[in-house]
Structure formats: structure tokens, C-alpha cells
């Protein structure tokens, strides 16, 4: 889209002729990441589109239609979803969804505390040295998943190596990286979508000439009806899942703070004050609980759509709401959902190699931009312990009763340990963990 559009504020409704294409533009920006999370975790992409769209509308309502933010699937919750479910699409997925519902409720509780006490306590419990290190762990925890999808038959770690699959993943990665680095304007914020399309097309073309590349089966598309409901799931609750998701949500709450601050800077309005951080966080939390209740992955505010707003200078909540409605409509097109299911696993693996690395790198960016001083042994120790526990697969487990076992592992355990170390270790006089 042209960058010459006049700036439109959050409350301005554009003419219909501009409203529709501007909303569709936001759909393109969020689409790749929103469907990738359910594909990786074994949830229904159509349910993710439905809950992203309806969750965004809920967020707009709860923030008084003052904050232009699109909410899509959160990558930070991929590790706990897979761990609790027992693998992608595992038998305990309902408990993972229950944990996500609890995380959304926890957002609301934190929002209530922020309204009463402000954000000082949150800054003390989760300084950049802790939250940045945890984000690094989230990204690197997913690295084996990306490589398994890129190289192995069946997309699992136990599958046999395939040069054919790796070549598809490598091509997809190359296109995605190229789009991310070299493209300008609107195309610079949809590298995932471009990589998906290029990898899919590459697999189709190569399948025409080499039988080994013929891995896309359109039978599922032919068999699917044109219209239908997404595959909704009913959440179930367990203490372990609830605790795991609540702990991981500490990292995503900080992600929300950062996204809201960036949105404020892009739009030129202080959303921390109006409508208030407590309302934006509550809106995010209710949207997350709503998504999990219907079988979708937890939601989060999307940087991709913030990028679109920065490029177009169109900050209209009406445009974001239009994109949400389009997402809901797409969720009921069952042939479209079936087509998504035909995306080859190595294509997803190629994209994930970049995407999961970007998650880890964003943690490093948080640390660097916050001025964390690693000459201070306190900061060095906190990060070191978080990295080893989180990436090394640390686990704390014991039996509460004969049939109930408590377990805290991976990202969740690393987060808890990091918070404890930060609160226990004294800071030097005049020196803080954040310069």
C-alpha cells in the first residue's frame, strides 16, 4: 500500500473504499504467525483465526475503542502447550487449554493490582535481566522443534534425515530471510507469509519433476465442505497446567507492556494512561482466556500489525476491527482451513528456523537496549542460571498425592528461579540491574 495516505487517528473511520483494503492488509500481516502456532501445537488453525478475530473485538471493546491493536496467536506459549499436552496435538491438550484460560485470568488479576498499586512492583520482580533471559530461553527451547521439522521424515525428532525435506526448508528459509532483510514498505512486515507461499510453491513445482518432492496431498481439500464451524475444544483444569501457564505468562505480560509502549509511540498517544495499562492488560487477558475456552492458542498483541500502522500512518480502530471480522469469516471457510493443513512440514520448519531465532534474539535485544551490565556478577549469575535451567530441560517434580504429581519444568522453572534470584541477590549501592 502507498505510504502517502494521510494519518488517521484511532477513532477515525475511513471511507469504505479505503476501509476494506486497509483491513485486508492487516489480515495479511497477522495471518502467517497466527496459523503457524496452532499448526505447531496441533490445534485447529480455523479456531485460531476465530479466536484471534473475536479476541481482538473483545480487546477493542474493553479498551473503549482507544487502542488499535490486533491480537493473534502467542509464540511464547508454544513450549508449555506442547509440554502439558504431551506433544503437538497430544492427549492432554484440554489441560493445556485450561492452563491458558488460567493465564488469561492471571492477566486480569495483575491488571487489577496495577490499577491499585502501579507498575513499580512489576519492574522490581521482573527487571530486564530476568525477562530478557527468559525470552531467550523461550526461543531456544523451540530450536529442536524447528530443526526436526526441517530435516526429518514425519517432522519429529525421531524421524530419519531427509535431504529432500531439508532442501525445501532451506529454500523457504532463504526466501523468508530475503523478504525480512531486503523488502521495503508493507512487504517488510509479512516475511512469514511470503516465505510460506514461496516454500509451498517450490514444493509444488519440484513435485512435478521429482517424485520425492511430491508431498502435498490435496485430497483433504477436496473432501472438506465449503463452510463449517472450526474444531472447538473444551478446556480442562489441572494444578500443574495452571501453575505452568501462570508462570510463563509473567514473560508475556512484559511482552504486553513493551507492545503497548511501542504502539503508544507509533500512534503518538500514551495508552499507559488512557485507557490505562490495567485496561489493556485486562483486555489481553480476557481475549486469551476466551481463545483457550474455544480451543484456540492464547492471544497476544501483534508487532506485525504495529509495523503496518507505522508504515501506513493509519491507526484507526475501525480498520483493526475490520481485520478481526475478516479473520472470523475465514475461520468458517472449511476448504480454506483444509488448504492450510496441506502446508508441508519442512516449509514450516524453514520458517521456524528464523522465527524461533527471532524470539531468542528479541530477548537479547531486551537485555542490550535496557543496558544490563554483565560486569556485575549479580546479572551474570541470574542470566547464567536461567539459561542452563531453561535450555537444559531442568525439572522440579514430586508427588503431592498418589494420583497427583507437581511438576515445574523448562521455561516455567527458569522464570521462577530467575525471579527468586533477582529478589534475593542484593544490588550494589547506586547500581541497579537496569541502567
The 3-class SS string of 66-79 reads CCCCCEEECHHHHH
Helix (H, G, I), strand (E, B) or coil at 65: coil
- Residue 195 lies in domain: 16-369
CA-wise closest residue to 69 among 77, 60, 78, 61: 60
Q: How far is CA 226 from CA 127, 222, 230, 336, in A?
A: 49, 10, 12, 8
Q: Is 261 exposed, middle or buried (0-12, 13-18, 19+ CB in 10 A)?
A: middle
Helix (H, G, I), strand (E, B) or coil at 38: helix
pLDDT at 286: 96
pLDDT tens per residue, range 32-60: 778 888 988 889 888 999 999 999 999 99
CA-wise closest residue to 70 among 24, 114, 102, 109: 24
Neighbours of 61 (CB within 10 A): 13
How is residue 238 written as a grid cell? 489441572
Q: Is 82 exposed, middle or buried (0-12, 13-18, 19+ CB in 10 A)?
A: buried
Q: Is 11 part of any domain? A: no
Beta strands in 102-242 (DSSP E): none
Strands 405-409 vs 395-399: parallel, antiparallel or unpaired: antiparallel
pLDDT at 394: 77
HEC per residue, 389-412: HHHHCCEEEEECCCCCEEEEEHHH
- Asked whether the beta carbons of 162 and 152 are under 8 A apart, the reply is yes
pLDDT at 145: 79
* Number of domain units in the chain: 1
pLDDT at 379: 92
Q: Is 341 exposed, middle or buried (0-12, 13-18, 19+ CB in 10 A)?
A: middle
Any idea how long the chain is?
435
How is residue 193 written as a grid cell? 507469509
Q: Nearest 5°: CA angle at 114, between 390 and 112?
A: 100
CA 177/CA 195 separation, integer angstroms: 8
pLDDT at 137: 86
HEC per residue, 283-321: HHHHHHHHHHHCCCCCEEECHHHHHHHHHHCECCHHHHH
pLDDT at 51: 94
Q: Is 407 part of any domain? A: no
pLDDT at 428: 67
Taking each helix axis from N to C end, the angle separating 16-41 and 303-312, rounded to the nearest 10 degrees, works out to 160
Q: Is 141 part of any domain? A: yes
Q: Is 200 part of any domain? A: yes
Q: Which residue matches cell numbers 502467517? A: 32
Which sign, positive or negative, has the C-alpha torsion 133, 245, 71, 113?
Answer: negative
pLDDT at 292: 93
Q: Is 403 part of any domain? A: no
In the chain, which stretches have pLDDT less than 70? 1-7, 154-159, 186, 189, 212, 304, 397-407, 428-435
CA-wise closest residue to 251 among 49, 107, 433, 90: 107
Partners of 77 in the beta sheet? none
pLDDT tens per residue, range 348-370: 888 888 877 877 887 888 888 88
pTM of the model: 0.75
Q: Is 389 part of any domain? A: no
pLDDT at 430: 44
CB-side neighbour CA atoms (13 Å) of 335: 8
Q: Is 381 part of any domain? A: no
CA 212 from chain centre, in angstroms, equals 33
CA 228/CA 416 separation, integer angstroms: 42
Beta-carbon contacts of 278 under 8 Å, excluding residues fewer than 6 positions away, are 111, 112, 114, 115
Q: Is 322 part of any domain? A: yes
Amino acid at each position: 500500500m502507498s505510504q502517502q495516505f494521510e494519518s488517521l487517528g484511532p477513532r477515525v473511520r475511513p471511507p469504505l473504499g479505503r476501509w476494506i483494503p486497509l483491513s485486508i492488509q492487516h489480515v495479511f500481516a497477522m495471518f502467517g504467525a497466527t496459523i503457524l502456532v496452532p499448526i505447531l501445537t496441533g490445534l485447529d488453525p480455523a479456531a485460531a483465526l476465530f479466536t484471534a478475530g473475536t479476541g481482538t473485538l473483545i480487546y477493542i471493546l474493553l479498551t473503549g475503542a482507544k487502542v488499535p491493536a490486533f491480537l493473534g496467536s502467542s509464540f511464547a506459549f508454544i513450549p508449555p502447550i506442547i509440554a502439558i499436552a504431551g506433544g503437538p496435538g497430544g492427549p492432554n491438550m484440554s489441560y493445556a487449554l485450561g492452563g491458558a484460560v488460567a493465564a488469561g485470568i492471571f492477566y486480569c488479576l495483575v491488571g487489577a493490582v496495577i490499577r491499585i498499586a502501579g507498575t513499580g512492583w512489576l519492574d522490581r520482580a521482573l527487571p530486564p535481566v530476568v525477562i530478557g533471559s527468559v525470552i531467550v530461553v523461550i526461543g531456544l527451547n523451540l530450536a529442536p522443534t524447528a530443526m526436526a521439522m526441517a530435516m526429518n521424515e514425519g517432522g519429529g525428532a525421531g524421524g530419519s534425515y531427509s535431504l529432500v525435506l531439508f532442501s525445501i526448508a532451506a529454500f523457504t528459509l532463504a526466501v523468508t530471510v530475503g523478504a525480512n532483510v531486503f523488502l521495503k514498505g508493507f512487504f517488510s512486515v509479512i516475511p512469514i507469509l511470503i516465505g510460506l507461499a514461496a516454500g509451498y510453491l517450490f514444493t509444488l513445482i519440484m513435485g512435478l519433476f521429482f517424485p520425492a518432492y511430491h508431498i502435498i496431498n490435496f485430497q483433504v481439500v477436496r473432501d472438506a465442505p465449503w463452510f463449517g464451524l472450526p474444531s472447538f475444544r473444551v478446556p480442562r483444569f489441572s494444578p500443574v497446567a495452571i501453575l505452568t501457564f501462570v508462570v510463563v505468562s509473567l514473560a508475556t505480560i512484559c511482552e504486553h507492556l513493551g507492545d503497548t509502549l511501542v504502539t503508544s509511540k507509533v500512534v503518538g498517544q500514551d495508552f499507559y494512561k488512557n485507557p490505562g495499562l490495567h485496561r489493556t492488560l485486562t483486555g489481553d487477558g480476557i481475549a486469551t482466556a476466551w481463545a483457550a475456552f474455544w480451543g484456540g492458542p492464547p492471544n497476544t498483541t501483534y508487532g506485525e500489525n504495529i509495523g503496518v500502522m507505522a508504515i501506513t500512518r493509519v491507526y484507526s480502530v475501525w480498520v483493526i476491527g475490520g481485520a478481526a471480522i475478516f479473520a472470523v469469516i475465514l475461520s468458517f471457510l472449511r476448504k480454506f482451513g483444509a488448504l492450510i493443513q496441506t502446508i508441508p512440514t519442512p516449509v514450516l520448519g524453514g520458517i521456524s528456523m528464523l522465527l524461533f531465532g527471532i524470539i531468542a534474539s528479541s530477548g537479547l535485544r531486551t537485555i542490550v537496549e535496557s543496558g544490563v551490565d554483565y560486569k556485575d556478577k549479580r546479572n551474570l549469575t541470574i542470566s547464567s542460571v536461567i539459561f542452563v535451567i531453561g535450555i537444559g530441560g531442568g525439572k522440579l517434580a514430586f508427588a503431592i498425592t498418589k494420583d497427583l504429581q507437581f511438576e515445574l519444568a523448562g521455561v516455567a522453572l527458569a522464570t521462577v528461579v530467575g525471579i527468586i534470584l533477582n529478589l534475593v541477590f542484593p544490588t550494589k549501592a547506586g547500581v541497579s540491574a537496569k541502567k
